[in-house]
């Protein structure tokens, strides 16, 4: 509400207060596969879920111990990689996934689609998130040059300057990249957020933006934390219940961005998010953390979440990256080859 | 406490005023962030804020070392569907630490630049108003970038309804609870104005709206002065200035609405502007002159018609 016009005259357009989303204490992501892994056999899926199971159990126990009321709300979720490969049958994949997870003691409450992180039921989430990017300025940034947001790259420091080939040959010209806010030494990361590609659509060349995996994963974490809203303050990618027994569509894109599989589940979004992932995703999550710490998020949403948590006597950090944690599991075949011979 | 800012004001590159719906579409530069609008007394549409990170020297008078790190906020405003403004501002806070913090520290404080310096806020304010160097904070460029971006948007037909000149208004707002609120406008040249505002700390955040409003009315005055000059030149060359005068009146008169969107507690600043130099008095004098010219020319045109003797 704009207090200026309040005494005599107000208009809807001047008011904006984000709508709340329901929140669990903790959202646990129970593993991840590339689409190819889901297409070929069951061993790999079973192997991963068997390692995820005990982790999930531990997280539920930990959350119970930390919840003052003793009633922890923990929901589980799983992200389907249908953005880079959607040529599979949803019914077949979902049946296989939920069955094997169930055999390993894991209930998948919510199933989300990675393509839904680009466009969630008509809301361009990736574009909205890209517009929140607030790159860190190198020393000497006066505002006289516009930020290079069009490049599609984000880094956590200042890159090594590139001389021409003659200069590059000379060692004394080279200067190392520097991580902003480094601690003694730099870990410099340059992340490709998207690339534009030319496609032929109905005979005409059109430019399509392909979002990168770390960028969509960042959107995914924001959705799990209930931190995104559309232009009118409405929540985005809200879970939709898929009627029990109803047939699955033949195409992934005919499914909602987030599907509620377990009708009795606690809310999808949560104060904190924990991801149990194969260790091969470590670099992606590093990139996610850099992306998330360079976003100009809606302050009122952040304040609202913190206030609600406070009323429940839960502490939620202001910084979004501090609400995320990870457990990385070994995904190699050797470790799981003979599980039954395990002395336990 | 201190805010530094710069406003650019220009006529929208469109053949006519935009409806409020089209104005909102034009200023939707950040999907996911709302565009704000009021309809009365005239339509005023405001884009969401865009932030930009900076880390550079700040200008001070007298010259003292000052380094500012943080974010600059910039937003666009469209008034009456036709008058486009972009306003960049940085609230200056004195840094607690003498080294650069991690980015999230600055990113959370929207539109705040933390400064490491021995200079006082008055020195920083004067520096911003009077001396911008190549390596100091350049709010004008930030503002210019946004207005340029919007003028190029495909929603516009890029035809100008009236030939006008954009203006720049560089301003500082200082908080002082002991002094009476004051405003001083200095016309540097045909394009640049500098404004010094002093208000109580509780009203500091409303200073930007006042300065944007002041920039709008200063632009109107400047533009109408130019129209009068142009009309004189056209008439001296033996042509008819009537079309110019008609379109200027049609477009500009309804935009004159001093302090309509300014915090009522800051209207005292407008009262000061009305007393000296007498903004509305000047405006009305010019508009009356234009109307007189139009009336005289209309009569003369009628006289030239066959059977004009109705007037004799």
Q: For chain B, what is the mean pLDDT?
A: 92
The SS3 call for residue B5 is strand
Tell me whether residues B110 and A299 touch, CB distance under 8 A. Answer: yes
- Bridge partners for A235 per DSSP: A229
Chain A residue numbers with beta carbons less than 8 Å from the beta carbon of B71 are 134
Which residue out of A10, A143, A289, A303 would a mutagenesis test of the B interface target, given it has the greatest number of B Cβ atoms within 10 Å?
A143
Exposed (0-12), middle (13-18) or buried (19+): which is A245, by Cβ within 10 Å?
exposed
DSSP 8-state symbol, A141:
B
Exposed (0-12), middle (13-18) or buried (19+): which is B51, by Cβ within 10 Å?
buried
Q: Nearest residue on chain A to B54, judged by CA atoms?
A: A141
- Contact (CB, 8 A) for A128 and A134: no
A177 at the B interface (CB within 8 A)?
A: no
Nearest to B225 by CA among B295, B298, B278, B165: B165
Phi, psi dihedral angles at B166 (to 5 degrees): -70, 155
A132 at the B interface (CB within 8 A)?
A: yes
Residue in B32, B39, B55 closest to A137 by CB: B55
Query: What is the C-alpha R_g of chain A?
Result: 22
CA distance B143 to chain A (A): 9
Tell me whether residues A132 and B32 touch, CB distance under 8 A. Answer: yes
Query: Distance (Å, rounded) from C-alpha B44 to C-alpha B40?
Result: 8
Res B27: pLDDT:
95
Res A158: pLDDT:
85
Mean pLDDT of A30-36: 93
Bridge-based pairing state of the strands B192-199 and B182-187: antiparallel
- Find the helix or strand (DSSP H, E) in which B149 lies: helix B139-151
- Whether the per-residue pLDDT at A316 is higher than 60: the answer is yes
Q: Nearest residue on chain A to B259, judged by CA atoms?
A: A4
- Contact (CB, 8 A) for A31 and A81: no
Residues B30-53: pLDDT tens digits?
A: 887 888 898 888 899 999 999 999
Res B302: pLDDT:
85
CA distance A94 to chain B (A): 31
State CA A203 to chain mean position distance: 35
Confidence of residue A341 (pLDDT cuts 50, 70, 90): very low
Residue in A11, A181, A296 closest to B102 by CB: A181
Least confident of A30-34, A148-152, A324-328, B142-146: A148-152
Res B181: pLDDT:
92
Bridge-based pairing state of the strands B83-94 and B112-117: parallel
- Whether the per-residue pLDDT at B312 is higher than 70: the answer is no
CA distance A74 to chain B (A): 28
Q: Which of A218-227, A293-302, B227-236 is most confident? A: A218-227
* Domain segments of chain B as ranges: 2-218, 220-304
Res A293: pLDDT:
92
Q: How many helices (H) and strands (E) does chain B have?
A: 8, 10
DSSP 8-state symbol, A171:
G
Q: For chain A, what is the mean pLDDT?
A: 86
Tell me whether residues A144 and B107 touch, CB distance under 8 A. Answer: no
Q: Which residues contact B257 (CB under 8 A, 6 or more apart)?
A: B41, B42
CA distance B75 to chain A (A): 14
B55 at the A interface (CB within 8 A)?
A: yes
Q: Which residues contact A185 (CB under 8 A, 6 or more apart)?
A: none
Residues B127-163: pLDDT tens digits?
A: 999 988 889 999 999 999 999 999 999 999 999 989 9
* Domain segments of chain A as ranges: 20-131+212-341, 153-192
Query: Distance (Å, rounded) from C-alpha B154 to C-alpha A267?
Result: 42
Alpha helix segments (H runs only) across B58-202:
103-107, 121-130, 139-151
- Whether the per-residue pLDDT at A23 is higher than 80: the answer is yes
Instruction: Tell me the whole-structure pTM to 2 decimals.
Output: 0.85
Both structure tokens of B199: 């208000």
- Whether the per-residue pLDDT at A337 is higher than 80: the answer is no
Query: Distance (Å, rounded) from C-alpha B227 to C-alpha B134?
Result: 34
Phi, psi dihedral angles at A76 (to 5 degrees): -110, 155
CA distance A5 to chain B (A): 8
- Whether the per-residue pLDDT at B307 is higher than 80: the answer is no
pLDDT over 70 for what percent of chain B?
98
Residues A271-290: pLDDT tens digits?
A: 999 999 999 999 999 999 99
Res A6: pLDDT:
32
DSSP 8-state symbol, A252:
G
Which residue out of A6, A142, A150, A178 would a mutagenesis test of the B interface target, given it has the greatest number of B Cβ atoms within 10 Å?
A142
Residue in A143, A145, A232 closest to B72 by CB: A143
């Amino acid at each position: 509400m704009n207090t200026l016009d309040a005494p005599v005259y107000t208009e809807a357009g001047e008011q904006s207060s984000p709508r709340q989303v329901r929140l669990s204490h903790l959202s646990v992501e129970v593993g991840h596969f590339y689409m190819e892994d889901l297409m070929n056999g069951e061993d790999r899926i079973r192997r991963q879920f068997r390692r995820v199971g005990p982790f999930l159990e531990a997280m539920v126990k930990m959350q119970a111990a930390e919840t003052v009321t003793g009633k922890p709300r923990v929901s589980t979720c799983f992200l389907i990689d249908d953005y880079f490969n959607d040529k599979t049958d949803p019914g077949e994949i979902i049946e296989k996934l939920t069955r094997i997870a169930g055999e390993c003691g894991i209930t998948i409450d919510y199933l989300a689609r990675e393509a839904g992180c680009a466009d969630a039921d008509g809301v361009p989430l990736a574009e909205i998130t890209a517009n929140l990017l607030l790159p860190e300025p190198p020393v000497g940034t006066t505002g006289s040059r516009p930020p290079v947001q069009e490049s599609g790259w984000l880094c956590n420091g200042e890159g090594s300057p590139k001389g021409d080939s003659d200069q590059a040959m000379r060692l004394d010209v080279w200067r190392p990249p520097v991580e902003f806010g480094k601690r003694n030494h730099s870990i410099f990361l340059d992340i490709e957020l998207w690339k534009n590609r030319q496609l032929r659509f109905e005979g005409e060349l059109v430019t399509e933006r392909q979002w990168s995996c770390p960028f969509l994963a960042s959107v995914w974490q924001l959705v799990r934390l209930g931190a995104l809203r559309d232009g009118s303050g409405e929540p985005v990618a809200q879970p939709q219940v898929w009627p029990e027994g109803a047939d699955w569509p033949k195409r992934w894109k005919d499914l909602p961005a987030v599907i509620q599989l377990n009708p009795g589940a606690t809310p999808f979004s949560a104060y904190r998010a924990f991801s149990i992932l194969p260790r091969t995703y470590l670099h992606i999550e590093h990139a996610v953390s850099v992306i998330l710490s360079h976003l100009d998020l809606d302050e009122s949403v952040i304040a609202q979440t913190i206030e609600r948590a406070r009323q429940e006597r839960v502490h939620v950090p202001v910084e979004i990256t501090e609400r995320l944690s990870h457990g990385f599991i070994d995904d190699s075949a050797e470790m799981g080859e003979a599980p039954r011979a395990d002395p336990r | 406490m201190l805010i530094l800012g710069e406003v650019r004001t220009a006529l929208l590159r469109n053949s006519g005023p935009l409806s409020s719906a089209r104005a909102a579409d034009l200023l939707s530069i950040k999907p996911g962030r709302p565009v704000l609008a009021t309809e009365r007394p005239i339509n005023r549409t405001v884009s969401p804020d865009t932030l930009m990170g900076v880390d550079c020297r700040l200008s001070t008078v007298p010259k003292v070392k000052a380094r500012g790190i943080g974010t600059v906020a910039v937003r666009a405003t469209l008034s009456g569907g036709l008058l486009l403004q972009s306003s960049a501002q940085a609230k200056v806070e004195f840094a607690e630490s003498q080294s650069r913090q991690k980015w999230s520290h600055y990113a959370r404080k929207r539109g705040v630049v933390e400064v490491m310096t021995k200079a006082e806020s008055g020195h920083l304010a004067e520096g911003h108003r009077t001396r911008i160097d190549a390596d100091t904070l350049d709010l004008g460029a930030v503002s210019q970038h946004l207005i340029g971006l919007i003028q190029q948007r495909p929603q516009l037909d890029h035809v100008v309804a009236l030939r006008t000149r954009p203006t720049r208004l560089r301003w500082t707002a200082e908080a002082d609870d002991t002094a009476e609120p004051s405003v001083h406008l200095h016309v540097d040249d045909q394009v640049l104005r500098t404004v010094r505002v002093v208000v109580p700390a509780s009203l500091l955040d409303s200073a930007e709206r006042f300065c944007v409003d002041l920039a709008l009315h200063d632009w109107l005055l400047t533009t109408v002065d130019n129209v009068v000059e142009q009309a004189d030149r056209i008439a001296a060359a033996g042509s008819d200035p009537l079309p110019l005068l008609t379109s200027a009146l049609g477009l500009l008169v309804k935009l004159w609405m001093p302090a309509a969107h300014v915090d009522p507690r800051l209207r005292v600043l407008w009262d000061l502007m009305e007393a000296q130099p007498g903004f509305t008095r000047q405006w009305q004098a010019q508009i009356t002159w234009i109307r007189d010219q139009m009336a005289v020319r209309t009569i003369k045109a009628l006289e030239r018609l066959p059977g004009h003797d109705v007037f004799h």
